[in-house]
Structure 1
């Protein structure tokens, strides 16, 4: 094979597909990137047998063919080349990479050993603007569990019901829910648990305002955006019944400025240890919420901020890092804090028009 392509375009392509390169497999071929030239297109492909990525980009193809190059090494070489035309000539034994005054010769792998890109029968498909998809994923993916022993909690529950797309994630200590209307969605019903890290990787890409397609197969999820295709295994199992955690109402509701609350939580938590709780005392008479924290043999801190409160005076305590994580996903100026009692979960809701809910389990007040 022989082709030429601009360095920046090739580097962008490699940044996408490199996420699918295996770093732990005993099969050397899985650490490589398959380069496939046909017509005027260069297609790059990677897989770790769980995740498969395919990216297609325009290139000046002089000779069609296939080759597998070491993924990390090839990417590092291209990353450090000047912004000029990159010429690649490869066969099953070696690849020659030249750009301006630089030249590299690296060993290649046999492309016939590279696994074929999965062909899946799609059952349901929805489309959503990438920017909207990315925003929704960022809100909930931060909550997924890192504990691989409970695989279902490392995923995000994605559902479509009556033209409304919902994403839900929980690590059993907190719960995040975000929703968006998809009035043009043709799928009647859509439900899958998808790896949170997989969704985060896609959400981190720079794909502009292009439409993203999310499709279900029997045990896989297929995500397509432009000339890029991602295929990953769905997480099997029953997602927790999160709806039973959501209360029907509240005893106290406070409307608080998000930036002021974030700053107050950060300052109040300075004297506490990493897992020390921050206490919220909501006072309806004074229309204030007082935040306080204390650490034995260190000291204490408190701060009062004005807010709008309806309902009863109440107090509740949360792990401060959980609060900050949830507030970081609120895109509005104000947030609502809804409390039933000091022993029941507290709920942070974004103000209109955002549809985002963040539930946090309380810490017992001593």
Structure 2
């Protein structure tokens, strides 16, 4: 294998692909990138067996095609030191030595045969489904929900983002049993299906979708999903199992409605939460017409804090407790100036919704379970 390639272009592909590589690989070969040069295009594959990312890069010239596995850390450490310039990369297929040459020097690093690199899983033809999604919609769905995913070994289905596809809507849901986020966007899919996307590939997509200008094609069956991006293909194993019935936990009849400035409420919670109990992070909201009283205390250290904020409120006076860290997470992931909080009583979940000046193209709902307020 011998080819010439731009140092910056190669480094960009390697840095993106390297995010897949695990620190605890079960197979030594997975500590390598797989370089596959064919028809003037270099394909760089990185995998941890669960998730595989394939980056494509046109090379400037090709003398000899081939396949080789190159060590991830050495390749990245070497290429980081180059300014933009053409590099000649040559791999000896008898010794598997990789030589990188440039105008004023060269370096050699040990590679290995790529024959033992695991092949990427393929989508079953008889169960394959396909949709095309806007990159912005997919990015928004992941951004809105991924913070609410769980880290629960006993309930793995809650460790990912649930994607529910309907003919005219795509809904993204995440929950950790304390908080729940549901983001529904209008989309002409023409099909009905669902899958649970694990957290790691969801985070990888987040990092790549911001640079995508065209629509993203997705293919999936009941075990794997493939995302086709402009210069990358992401293949990942889905989380198998039945996602909880999230609609059943969203309270539908909430007579008490609060409209409040989101930034003021968020900053007030941050100030008051400093004095909350370190183990529970409990903060109490006492809501009555025109005012929200925030209080927190830690009797062990004799500290307490209180703040009053103005609001618009419809309903009876109510006192409800929430975990301050979850409240801050939810309010930080809403982008509008004002937020609506809907409550039934102090024992049922609070429903947070962004308040838009104009009708939005998507519907966002965030739910937070209350905590008991000790008298």
Q: TM-score w.r.t. structure 2 length?
A: 0.92
Question: Compared with structure 1, are the counterparts of its residues 255 and 99 closer, same or farther at alpha carbon in structure 2 (3 Å cutoff)?
Answer: farther
The answer for the alignment partner of 1:320 in structure 2 is 324
Question: Compared with structure 1, are the counterparts of its residues 99 and 339 closer, same or farther at alpha carbon in structure 2 (3 Å cutoff)?
Answer: farther
CA–CA distance in 2 between the matches of 1:358 and 1:100?
A: 56
The answer for the alignment partner of 1:359 in structure 2 is 367
Question: Compared with structure 1, are the counterparts of its residues 360 and 99 closer, same or farther at alpha carbon in structure 2 (3 Å cutoff)?
Answer: farther
The answer for the alignment partner of 1:142 in structure 2 is 147
SS in 2 for 1:10: helix
CA–CA distance in 2 between the matches of 1:90 and 1:256?
A: 63
CA–CA distance in 2 between the matches of 1:89 and 1:144?
A: 44
Shift of 1:102: 5.0
SS in 1 for 2:148: coil
Is 1:194 equivalent to 2:200 in the alignment?
A: no
Identify the range of structure 1 (132-141 vs 100-109) with the bigger mean alpha-carbon deviation. Answer: 100-109
Once the two structures are superposed, the pairs formed by residues 210-359 of structure 1 within 5 Å of their partners are: 210-274=214-278, 275-284=280-289, 287-296=290-299, 297-352=301-356, 353=360, 354-359=362-367
Deviations 1:33-87 (A, max 9, x none): 0111122211101222211111111111232111110112212221222222222
The answer for the alignment partner of 1:35 in structure 2 is 35
| Equivalent residues, number | 362
SS in 1 for 2:329: helix
Q: Can you give the 5+ residue segments of structure 1 that lack an aligned partner in the other structure?
A: none
Shift of 1:330: 0.7
Question: Compared with structure 1, are the counterparts of its residues 327 and 100 closer, same or farther at alpha carbon in structure 2 (3 Å cutoff)?
Answer: farther
C-alpha contact (below 8 Å) 1:82/1:99 kept by paired residues: no
C-alpha contact (below 8 Å) 1:81/1:99 kept by paired residues: no
Identify the range of structure 1 (216-225 vs 261-270) with the bigger mean alpha-carbon deviation. Answer: 216-225
Q: Aligned to 1:124, which of 126, 129, 134?
A: 129
SS in 1 for 2:307: strand
Shift of 1:97: 1.6
SS in 2 for 1:142: helix
CA–CA distance in 1 between the matches of 2:159 and 2:179?
A: 13
Runs of 4+ residues deviating >4 angstroms: none
CA–CA distance in 2 between the matches of 1:241 and 1:102?
A: 61
SS in 1 for 2:149: coil
Shift of 1:24: 1.8
Question: Compared with structure 1, are the counterparts of its residues 246 and 5 closer, same or farther at alpha carbon in structure 2 (3 Å cutoff)?
Answer: same
The answer for the alignment partner of 1:6 in structure 2 is 6
CA–CA distance in 1 between the matches of 2:114 and 2:200?
A: 28
CA–CA distance in 1 between the matches of 2:232 and 2:110?
A: 27
CA–CA distance in 2 between the matches of 1:37 and 1:167?
A: 38
Question: Compared with structure 1, are the counterparts of its residues 256 and 193 closer, same or farther at alpha carbon in structure 2 (3 Å cutoff)?
Answer: same
C-alpha contact (below 8 Å) 1:193/1:236 kept by paired residues: yes
Q: Can you give the 5+ residue segments of structure 2 that lack an aligned partner in the other structure?
A: none
C-alpha contact (below 8 Å) 2:120/2:235 kept by paired residues: no
C-alpha contact (below 8 Å) 1:151/1:235 kept by paired residues: yes
Once the two structures are superposed, the pairs formed by residues 79-118 of structure 1 within 5 Å of their partners are: 79-92=80-93, 93-101=96-104, 103-118=106-121
Q: TM-score w.r.t. structure 1 length?
A: 0.94
The answer for the alignment partner of 1:204 in structure 2 is 207
Shift of 1:105: 0.8
Shift of 1:23: 2.8
Question: Compared with structure 1, are the counterparts of its residues 343 and 15 closer, same or farther at alpha carbon in structure 2 (3 Å cutoff)?
Answer: same
CA–CA distance in 1 between the matches of 2:353 and 2:298?
A: 29
Aligned CA RMSD, in angstroms, stands at 1.6
